[in-house]
Structure 1
Amino acid sequence: MNEINVSAVPLTKLVPSAINVRTTGRDKGIDGLAASIASRGLLQNLVVRETEEGKYEVVAGGRRLAALKQLCKAKKLPKSYMVPVQIVGEDAALEASLAENVMREQMHPADQFAAFAGLIAQGHSIEDVAARFGVTPGVVTRRMKLASLSPVIIEAFRADKLTLEQVMGFTVTDNHAEQEQVFADISEWHYPAERSRIVQLLTHEKMKTTDHRFRFVGEDAYIAAGGAITRDLFDERDTGYAEDSALVLRLATERLTAMIPEVLAQGWKWIEADPALTYDTMRTFTRIHPRHVELNNDDAARLSALAEEYDRLAEDGDTPDDETSERLDAIDAEMESLRDKERAFDPAEMALAGGWLALHNDGSVKLELGYVRPEDRPALDALRRPINTDGQNENGDDDAEPVTPAPTGPKVPEALLAELHAARTIALRLELVKRPDIALRVLAHSLAVREMSHGTPVLTVHPSTTYIPENQRVGCPDETPLNDQRSRWNMRLGGDAARMWDAIMALSNEDVLDLIAVLSASLVDATYSKGQNGSAAKPGIYAEKLAATLDLDMRQHWTPTAATYFGRVSKDAITEAVTEAASEAEAAKLAGLKKGVMAEEAALIAADTTWLPAPLRTNRG
């Protein structure tokens, strides 16, 4: 056994050693370590070997040496400070370095929570504890929050039944009973619960401050009305939860109600304010649609020529230069002006109809117009019956399937439009599989449309799955979760048709719903293809309704980057997007930049917002 000599040497004679096995992370946490040494002294000796020059190389304890020198430089230790060391021989140096770094057991985070709580209990302030350990007061506060969790949660964490990330999720409530109930619930799951899901389960009576209804009201107005907010200290986005969701809805309703007179003045019979508007509310109403108005020959010819010129300029494969971008924007503006002439509500039908002032997912005001109450349906039928034109039959019903309104916003190339709708199709599939109740109804609707109507449903119920080509999958969500569920059901049902019948007949109602959700989700088709006269052949109005019913938030599935959007559109389109996402001031900062740089900067700005291009917005008006 090599002899170990315990001694003390001046700090000035200590130097780092080249054989110290710790090379990664040796500079991390030096400030905190220095604070600890300044508070309590050096609790563990350095391991050194003597050199021929009379110096001592530190083979174990390099970070402590760096902390000591930092304190000396800050004049918190004298240069003559004597450092306790263990002097080892040449043969034992490498072994000592390896033993200290490999065999040392890290303190369990739960022990750290308890230690901080113990210091606070002894009378130390949060600021004092933070200074002693070289961390911020915020770190100590968060550790104290963790220490205050139910002992059941802490013990589960110690037993590796919960990860630190999961434990953080439980801190959004101080109610131990609720924490323990949620832990018991997720323990029965067959997959790990994400922190966001734990937070959601514990805040069922609260509303996220990122919720579109809260964003519309605003934090200042909510607080002024007496509302309170709980913060998730472990969310880097500083997510908060409005304690009184009912107050949020009341304030939003009051603000929307104030806008009603202006909309009524357009000629509608009724307008209501509903910040929590759902498809279930709207589906009991008869819908009227804007009627197509034929353009005169000159306008029609001009629109056709503009569309051809736009596609030729936008799809040449190269990033458009400034001159081309300006021309594209000018074409887009003129085309929109011409299209506005093509659709208009009939004033006589408007006098029987109305709608709602509601909210988009980004918190902006949305108008849902063209809905007729049941009691006004006879009058609408009487109005329509003698006309029998514009696609109306004797009963006043539409023969033709309603088409999707043209997306607002700048014109984008056809190839990019196909990619955006491909991403939306996959996102709808991923969301529908979570909602068996909706999947069952969508399947019923699609089957009914096939058998009893001539429309195009949102599901391909032949059945066949719409294939999305690889060249359209730029920025698309990962379909692995859905594929995994399909594989699980395939194994469970046994493969061949006869066995599958028996297996399905033996399923519980709950399992049948789950199976239908998986199968229906796979059939969702909200893809884009160019129809005649430049109109969209797909996705159709029911893809929009499905997105609204599922409250689809595409920012959970798709991110606007230079590759997925900004590098594919004109500079003016980028400017418009940044203005919507942030402000005119932010957009102005990008003026004069080269297209590639401008696209990258726009992506960084949009990353901190909920902005989406028009084709990906849910419930767009």
Structure 2
Amino acid sequence: MSVTESKAKTSKKASSKAKEKAVSKELVTLLESTPVVLVPFSQLADTELNTRIVPHTDKEIRGLADSIKGVGILQNLIVIELPDGQLGVVGGGGRKKATALLVSEGLIDADQPFVPVKVVPRELAVAASMTENGQRKSMHPAEQIIGFRTLSEEGNTPAQIGDLLGYGARHVQRMLKLAGLAPSILDALAKDELTTEHCHVLALENSHERQLQVLDMAKENSYNGKPQIHQIRSLITASEVQISGSGKFAFVGANAFEDSQIRRDLFSEDDGGYVDKVLLDTHLVNKLEIVAHALQENEGWAWCLHRMDRVERYGEDAQTYSFLPTPAPLFTKEEQARLDTLTAALQEVETHDDEYEIQQQIEDLESAVAIRAWTPEQKAQAGVVVSFEDDEVCIQRGVLLREQKEGTEGAKADSETRTSSGITYTRQPEPVDDISLPLLTKMSSERTLAVQAAVVQQTPKAVALLAWTLCRDLLSHHWGATSALKASLRCSHNSLLENAPSGKEGTAYLALKAEIERVTAMLPDGWDRDFTTFFTLKGEQLLSILGLCAACGLDGVQTRECGHTTRSPLDAVETAFDFELRDWWQPTKANFFDHLKKPQIVEFLNEAGFTGAASDAEKMKKGDAAELAEERMASNRWVPVWMTAPQPKEAPVDDPANAENVEGETHSDETATTDAA
């Protein structure tokens, strides 16, 4: 059994091959040139530098002892000198144990020079141990990993380790990655409770705590308690997308990401890895925007739009967009001759590469002619839409904007004005559009956890919400596979906890966790394998289970497309459940204000009525302004308008009663600021 390679592999390049052989020969030469001396058994001691950690069986030790009794120790032990004068064994632990057995049986005198040893320098002890043990008996993968880890801890670089043992850089990188696994995982590998393939996948995660958590979850989810490799991988990369074969990643490019943002898979054949789905889509949208504006400027369209999906000619898109007829391409004589030549050449190609190259030239020529066919008059009233579909950039030209219907929700958010050249489409900006997408993801994740915690405390309403959802699916002809009940639940706690600043320590998640533990305790034995066990539950227990499921199924994480932020699906739920975010979340410097620009901090202080503090914040550095905002916001129940459901419109300011309230709030803050000064 091997870890990544069972033995040192020879490089295909001649220079590397010669180097590896020369270096390996150097270590072997050292062992061969070191003289053998006989020492008494009583002078030998165990040492942690011996890379052999999987113990020999009693049967193996008995066999070694019988052999030593008959013909002596044929292969010397490898030792180092210890400060107390003893000799520490780094290679030959089994022979030492067998000799100890003979000493205990009175067949060998412990003080008699009997054991042949070679004394090696301390700095080469681990390498010598790995080489000697590997020659005697194939090393267990766990022993190889620990050997590489020890060499690294001694200050050797990966290149030095590779040179010393004759391994390539790739193998050394993989071994050191495995050496970073939690100690208990390596113990399980040594006991053959896990395979090296399990370790390869667990090494995708750097955190020991997370490695063990994933392993426990995989064991619980397996039918026989044995973790499945695919399930471990799925748990670790639940919110991520594989970069190998991803058209999105190929389009965006690795340079758009920091090294820490790519989860590298050293054990994949194609140097693959994973990136966060939201982050990848963010970079994708940004690049689509660049392409869209470039096309608008270079080709002369009236407007441009970038979005994830192409504009469809049916459904909601058909209410907003229409298309100009595609003009017929007009080839010049030179272009037509060039096209004819390429088409003829395409019939005579002999290789796929040549065929691909000619076909690409034909497509480029046809595309250039088709773009040129659009007239200036058409471009003056239409736009170009850039999207991403089927792992390719999709460009739609000649797209028209229809007039928005009066009274619709879209008309409230969007406005149109006619000009002599056509329609100019303008969307009124909303406050949330100024918030960065990473912060939007964090805050909407925080908000989702808080709403879940609030919903789970109102079981009747939660059950009503679940029943309504299932009923809506039923009445809208929700089709599925042939299972008896087509209902499913997707809990996004892993991604929510990863994105929400409060994480597992937040008030909302702690409340959810307590309810999950309470409900779990009431479940019958074997419930997950037999639905009839639920027949034994009382109605109150079933309601608690349904309420928890409904709460944990909520997902209100918002996204942004074409610069437009999606509306939160939590708005209606918050209103129905009388939800107040400040019952669950407190804005602080660390979890909120540090992620804002200073003008936004000033704006929010003004919004909360702290005009004096806002004036002070304008003169401060951003960090000090964030601390001031945390201090002031602690005394009220302010939350950003985009993190709460829309409120009923307040009375106009010219209302005498309302005007008095506004003035009172401002005066109160100015007084506090003056006192503080």
Same fold (TM > 0.5): no
| Larger Rg over CA atoms | 2
User: Structure 2 length normalisation: TM-score?
Assistant: 0.32
* More RCO (CA 8 Å, sep 6+): 1
User: Structure 1 length normalisation: TM-score?
Assistant: 0.34
